[in-house]
Amino acid sequence: MSSDADLHALRHSASHIMAQAVRKLFPNVKLGIGPAIEDGFYYDFKTGTPFTTDDLKKIETEMKSIIKSKEAFERFELSYGEAKEFLAKQNEPLKLELLEDHRDETISFYRNGDFTDLCAGPHLEHTGQLKAFKLLSVAGAYWRGDEKNEMLQRIYGTAFATKDDLQAYLTQLEEAEKRDHRKLGAELDLFSIHHKEAGPGLIYWHPRGSIVRRVIEDFWKNTHEDHGYQLVYTPHLVKVDMWKTSGHYQMQYPMYFTEIDGDEYGVKPMNCPGHIMIYKTQTRSYRDLPIRQAEMGTVYRHEKSGVLHGMLRVRGFTQDDAHVFCTPAQLLDEMLGILGLIDTILGTFGFQYQAYLSTRPEKSVGSDENWEMATNALREALDKKGLPYIEDPGEGVFYGPKIDFKIKDAIGRTWQLSTVQVDFNLPERFDMRFIDSDGEQKHPVMIHRAIFGSFERFMGILIEHFAGAFPIWCAPEQAIVIPIADRHLDYCKEVAKKIRAAGLRAVVDERNEKLGYKIRSAQKQKIPYMLVAGDKEVEEGRVSVRTRAEGDQGAAPVQEVIDAILAQVREFK
RNA sequence: GCCAACGUAGCUCAGUAGGUUAGAGCGUAUCCUUGGUAAGGAUAAGGUCACCGGUUCGAAUCCGGUCGUUGGCUCCA
């Protein structure tokens, strides 16, 4: 029954009812727009004094009384002229502005009780059908989404068909809050940000977070070398001449600049020009191609202060970047290779993903033939891999088509992660060449690609996805050895030493506390294996095994436990 | 960058009609305790109440500014 369309109508009606309530409580507000959105609805208002949280409660109460009176939603139509007159009379300047986009159309309105709004619909039959809603937050929003326009006050709310659905949604919000990587990052001692002393948007990786990162980096490097990539390093500081050649300087890319010996330098916001420098050190033959260069390149971008968010949106971050330089004829094979690599790496973390193909935008560089050739190669690669994809027409970058990948995390949120972009622009700007089999000099095709996007962002996503309980293979500590009393400490140290000798990560809880306390503490740290040793275990050369997920598993010989953990690590469990 | 809310110990939070030495829990340190699967006990240390300025006899509390955080908007090659 409650299809997407029904839910949409429900929420849209909720936004009308909210606007009606706001109108009643604050007669001077002017109406902006009020659509249904993915998780609810909002309405924008022009008002002299911003709304407060207390106002939300009052508005909710008012809404409930409108719902109680079961006002019917009635549709009626006016000509453009009549509509204009009507809205002028209502004194709704913003609505009048919207009307201008519909000059040659019949204009539809919806009326319920004393409230009438310019609206395409559809709506509920009457206000009494809104059973479950909640107002969530107040925010500023530019009129018509343009930062040059004035800022309106937006109220967000959500509505569902049933109270249970609403409650489930609110519970999910709470669950997301519990998993917040900023909270878990501090609790699990993974990273910190020192906004005041060291600057916002810059991440400090603690020892425990660094282990996770290092293990993933090693995996990433090995996998790339297996796939024919060469690892490189390039400088962070580059003279602006290079950013002028790349075009970033002219387009005022948000970079950091400094002056050295009278020359202007920029901190790199991306790695591609560096890789191009390496390419250009030799005359390349078609026989040398494809060249695949990979770098975990740390870049800095001057992001606006308001967009910074934990590890997910920062000013300094490390891209798992790579560039492939190839001939047009090699493009398909290279794309196939990249799609396979993405599948391997994302699959290791257990992520399902969805591909999106973005085609040529209105403003673009490059010839028609190139765009067609590249777009076809991307399509063909996706088809050959049997990868279903959604096409985003016109959403490509100005320099070439791209494929993006979005993953779904443990609580159903989607994150844009990997991206693969064909580039016709930079090879020309940097005059990159190779000598083809016909003896002619040609520009290679360049592919930019990142799988995690950035380590910082990926780490943030991983923390939230796993709720801090990292898979055994990349967990900061794989095992903690817990003595029951002080006299078992030496034995526990021996056990930890053996585990480490096997290439695993283990620590000993040496604190003078009871077993229950240490278990609780290890459990909170989400350590996969807790190995307990008392008199019995010492005597038998065993440890009692407790896993963070399954609890007490009983005693086992130390070597057996080590083998079991090793087996899981090998399988990236 | 824009709109709004917020900023008290390492963490989570009390504390305002402006009035001596600003509180609690967790965590930390020391001592007692040597305990068998999610918190044993005692004592102690720890705060320029974000910062700067103003109002006042007196400011954590009121006002202004700055910085930062949060939720949005814009942006996100």
CA of A359 to C1' of B31 (A): 71
Residues 65-94 of A with CB under 7 A from strand B: none
Q: What is the pLDDT of residue A291?
A: 97
**Shared-domain flag, residues A441 and A549:** no
Distance from chain centroid for Cα A206:
22
**Shared-domain flag, residues A531 and A567:** yes
**Shared-domain flag, residues A321 and A413:** yes
A196 touches strand B (CB under 7 A): yes
Residue A120 lies in a domain: yes
**Shared-domain flag, residues A314 and A410:** yes
**Shared-domain flag, residues A310 and A365:** yes
Structure tokens at A318: 């490390």
Nucleotide whose C1' lies closest to the alpha carbon of residue A42: B72
**Shared-domain flag, residues A47 and A128:** yes
A122 touches strand B (CB under 7 A): no
Inter-residue contact A451 to A345 (CB < 8 Å): yes
Structure tokens at A327: 């001939």
Structure tokens at A86: 């009507």
Residue A114 lies in a domain: yes
Nucleotide whose C1' lies closest to the alpha carbon of residue A448: B77
Q: Write the CATH number for A495.
A: 3.40.50.800
CA of A195 to C1' of B68 (A): 6
- Residues of A classed as catalytic: 272, 301, 319, 321, 323, 402, 448
User: How many H-runs (helices) and E-runs (strands) does chain A carry?
Assistant: 18, 28
Q: Please, which residues bridge with residue A449 across strands?
A: A322, A420
Residues 511-540 of A with CB under 7 A from strand B: 511-517, 519-520, 523-524, 530, 532-537
Q: Write the CATH number for A222.
A: 3.30.930.10
Q: What is the pLDDT of residue A1?
A: 43
Residue A203 lies in a domain: no
CA neighbor of A410 nearest in space, from A164, A162, A156, A181: A181
Q: Please, which residues bridge with residue A321 across strands?
A: A295, A450
Nucleotide whose C1' lies closest to the alpha carbon of residue A142: B73
Where chain A has pLDDT below 70, the residues are: 1-2
CA of A134 to C1' of B69 (A): 26
| Secondary structure percentages of chain A, helix, strand, coil, to 5 | 40, 30, 30
ipTM of the complex, rounded to two decimals: 0.92
Last residue of a domain, one of A429, A462, A495: A462
Last residue of a domain, one of A411, A440, A462: A462
The total number of structural domains in chain A stands at 3
Q: What is the pTM of this model?
A: 0.92
Q: What is the pLDDT of residue A350?
A: 92
**Shared-domain flag, residues A161 and A303:** no
CA of A132 to C1' of B17 (A): 40
CA of A470 to C1' of B35 (A): 31
Q: What are the pLDDT digits (tens) for A333-380?
A: 999 999 999 999 999 999 999 999 999 988 888 889 999 999 999 999
Nucleotide whose C1' lies closest to the alpha carbon of residue A421: B77
**Shared-domain flag, residues A295 and A415:** yes
Residue A239 lies in a domain: no
**Shared-domain flag, residues A435 and A487:** no
Residue A194 lies in a domain: no
Inter-residue contact A228 to A288 (CB < 8 Å): no
Q: Alpha helices, DSSP H only, in A454-548? A: 455-466, 489-501, 515-524, 535-540
Residue A210 lies in a domain: no
**Shared-domain flag, residues A421 and A511:** no
**Shared-domain flag, residues A165 and A297:** no
Residue A171: give the domain boundaries. Answer: 4-179
Last residue of a domain, one of A413, A433, A462: A462
Nucleotide whose C1' lies closest to the alpha carbon of residue A542: B36
Q: What is the pLDDT of residue A2?
A: 54
Residue A49 lies in a domain: yes
Residue A254 lies in a domain: no
Q: How far apart are CA A141 and CA A526, in angstroms?
A: 40
Q: What are the pLDDT digits (tens) for A291-309?
A: 999 999 999 999 998 899 9
Inter-residue contact A385 to A403 (CB < 8 Å): no
CA of A123 to C1' of B51 (A): 52
Residues 263-302 of A with CB under 7 A from strand B: 270
Strand B: which bases are under 7 Å from protein Cβ?
Answer: 1-5, 11, 28, 31-40, 50, 67-77
Q: How far apart are CA A417 and CA A165, in angstroms?
A: 29
Burial of A49: CB neighbours in 10 Å, binned 0-12, 13-18, 19+: exposed
Q: Write the CATH number for A62.
A: 3.30.980.10
**Shared-domain flag, residues A479 and A544:** yes
